[in-house]
Structure 1
């Protein structure tokens, strides 16, 4: 089974220690129990118990230390197969716990990507001691606009600087062992990344920023007041500092989709258990046909989310200067998987209704937190603007690559710390149609027809100069392209995991419907040429409805999960 279930845990691990790390984490949360998790959430209790746990077990040190700084410990490595799952596990229990992990990953990025070996060794020691980290990039007035950053290092003589400036919306900013901070050199404007220690008197944790989500986390505003910085604190300068900021986000945005999967999975179990045990008008809620449809669609969408994210992790692990396909797949994990998470929670909420607001449920947290993930590490529009840069090469300039298998083996994914940047127009892809080869499915065939219509649009009726200049138009059209890429990786991973054909059919049923909806919006909301309008209209197709297939998915896969997981009270 693809879905994470703490009470029936199945996952291929390359070594016993990796499994033990997850099992210990499961035990920590299950022993804590749902009631205590909810009490802490509602009281906004700082998660000191969780931080003590990861310190005692060396969890972050094991998972986030590259081999080069592991001091010979084979269990310490930067392994995206393990990291992707751990995102899911933490969010399954609470987004606040995931957040401490996520911002630690972001804070470590500029360190591992930098050129300061001493800082890297220092960081490895701090991780081993149980430290968490923070990423000081955004500022209150400018957000993540790096061009406008006002934090500066002013030369103070003898190779030292004084740092001044303020950073805003910084997770772990109150307790991080080190905060990776982005700024400029005064006078030259050269970009720089440096680390600061929150325990120093020149570091001021100004306040906790109150938010409606991740209640227990400490999202800080901090200021530096003539904070002394030496060469030992400088991580990178110039182009390397700039690239470190972008490449850190390339890695960090992937984690958001995995967190959405964790939230949706727990909410799915809770909603199914509730509905299956509730009797209304002499019938159990799960006996109503529309309820079965909602659950089956939610399950199909959730399975698709996980198939795509896991496959994207394979490509991230296979990345090299010659194969940078992950630069397309990662923002789709960020944008599409998190957006699908919102849809899954909405479908489940249609079933359990008011129960979803009750304070003793996990669902109440899921309902609140799921909408945060599409808004972090760049909005949907920012990520879509990146995605559409790949359209031309994806369709019209195929290149042969060796097939990327499932990458579950133990390994250190060090390329992510020396990523090549820029030149997105040079990123190439194999022929996307290879994913469809040998697949016998009516709904897959319908979707492939929609894909070919989109390709015909690009060839015969491409966007006019006016349309290209209309960012709203291009972003809306990008939704169609995103679905095409989403379907490709789902198909690839369905083959790898030998996904049940009935479930695959349900996945492509909603993909066809979503594609048709986006095509309709292009006709309704934008000015098109006559030929463009005709092609968009032809894209609007219906999935093949197979009641027997849907019934089997409901009975054998969805309803079969009833009472398979209930969190300890």
Structure 2
């Protein structure tokens, strides 16, 4: 390994300003992504055990040496980074803290720190992980029967099967309780699914799609569409169209899905999915992952800005020596450290079985807005270079806008927290 911890002294690159970053041999060296001094200011990494710390370092090395040098190119072309997904599959992190067949069974803290590390490398890869592991696998693990977990989790943990999570609809995002997709029970016990879904990560490439729908009694359930021959040969009645024109997370694909009486077997309804409370269990868990993701984006932007400031010269001196720049960096690090502390405590509560939906909501509320602020300051420090992909800040600055919105917007999180404060629901 080339690094030992977040708070070790790092060697700065000799040439942090290449002409372009295109994934070739002349691309930005990993050191130029600025594993800068002091990011883990309170040495949170020391809370991990040896196995988890080694895994975190392996993920970090993957992000620095494999993901970051090509991330800008995939992002600019809006191309799914298949080789990077193959590399991700070999890390053994899919499933995170889930306890189930084939799952790594990490601590919630290790799972969160790995999610942040993936986001530090690239938001699209982090989002792929959040959808596949944090949503699809989590739904199967939390709501599936023992037989269903044995059937689907091992191949998903090995990333031999890619998962998707289909909840949001074209007309229902924040008000998804008005879910329109229907699951009709046939005479032979099988189900037919009819409806539309939108913003479904991995929806065009997934092998296993968890679809949320109302049954004939009006109850909400999770139904698994399994493409027997892979995403290239989907089930009859399943049509997925990739959403184009995105200005964030461009290298991970979301889909508009049309379901026209898609027939699935009787045992493809997850046994523990009966109502919205079951859906909320999954979303509370996934919001925790997204909160860590936001932290990862902030760390990446801060590190890039620090490295830039230590090399960029104006008026005959490095700008890192200017009081205004040091003030900005100090406030960025203070934001990051505060966000990190909230994430750590949230993960500890999860480990103890005490994490509630409001804990995930307030953490996501704080980290998404904080990361947005940190990325904005980083872009400012880089001046005109801040809008160039070469320096990586522009990509994180754009991608944090997606994180700020998905898994519940800033306003939705505030209403969840407000309900916990007052005991009054203000959603309607």
**TM-score after normalising by structure 1:** 0.63
Q: What's the counterpart of residue 476 of structure 1?
A: none
Structure 1 residue 28 displacement after superposition: 2.5
Q: Which residue of 2 aligns with 1:264?
A: 298
- By how many angstroms is 1:182 displaced? 0.7
> Which residue of the partner structure matches residue 229 of structure 1?
264
Q: Measure, in 2, the Cα distance between the counterparts of 1:2 and 1:24.
A: 13
In the alignment, structure 1 residue 99 sits paired with structure 2 residue 127: yes
Structure 1 counterpart of 2:94: 60
Structure 1, unmatched stretches of 5+, are: 393-424, 426-467, 473-569
8 Å contact 2:98–2:106 — kept in the other structure? yes
Aligned length: 385
CA contact (8 A) 1:100 1:132 kept: no
Which residue number corresponds to residue 348 of structure 1?
A: 378
Aligned match of 1:318: 352
Q: Which residue of 1 aligns with 2:15?
A: none
Q: Which residue is equivalent to 1:380?
A: 410
Alignment check: 8 A CA contact 2:248 2:402 kept: yes
TM-fit CA distance, 1:329: 2.2
CA deviation after TM superposition for structure 1 residue 16, in Å: 4.3
Alignment of 1:177 with 2:207, yes or no, is yes
Q: 1:78 to 1:24 in 2, by over 3 A?
A: closer
User: Which residue of 51, 59, 72 maps to 1:38?
Assistant: 72
Query: Max radius of gyration: which structure?
Result: 1
Partner of residue 118, structure 2: 90
Following the alignment from structure 1 to structure 2, what is the Cα–Cα distance between the partners of residues 202 and 243? 31
- Name the counterpart of 1:50: 84
- In the alignment, which residue of structure 2 is the partner of 1:148? 178
| Deviating more after overlay: 11-20 vs 87-96 | 11-20
CA shift in 2, pair 1:146/1:343, >3 Å: closer
Which ranges of structure 2 fall in alignment gaps of 5 or more residues? 9-33
SS at 1:170's partner residue? strand
Q: Could you report, residue by residue, the CA deviation over 1:475-503 in whole angstroms, capped at 9, with x for unpaired residues?
A: xxxxxxxxxxxxxxxxxxxxxxxxxxxxx
**Pair 1:191-2:220 in alignment:** yes
After the TM superposition, which residues 438-517 of structure 1 pair with which residues of structure 2 at under 5 Å, given as runs? none
Runs of 4+ in structure 1 displaced over 6 angstroms? 1-5, 7-10
- Normalising by structure 2, report the TM-score: 0.82
Aligned-pair CA distance for 1:209: 0.9
Distance in structure 1 (CA, Å) of the matches to 2:67 and 2:178: 45
Q: Please list the CA deviations of residues 452-510 of structure 1 after superposition, one character each: whole Å capped at 9, or x if unmatched.
A: xxxxxxxxxxxxxxxx99x79xxxxxxxxxxxxxxxxxxxxxxxxxxxxxxxxxxxxxx
**TM-superposed deviation, 1:280:** 1.5
- What value does the CA root-mean-square deviation take over the aligned residues? 2.7
Q: Deviations over 1:252-278 (max 9, x none)?
A: 112222112111112112111212222
Q: CA separation in 2, counterparts of 1:276 and 1:112?
A: 46
Question: Are the counterparts in 1 of residues 144 and 272 from structure 2 also a CA contact under 8 Å?
Answer: no
Secondary structure, counterpart of 1:169 in structure 2: strand
How far apart are the structure 2 equivalents of 1:286 and 1:122? 55
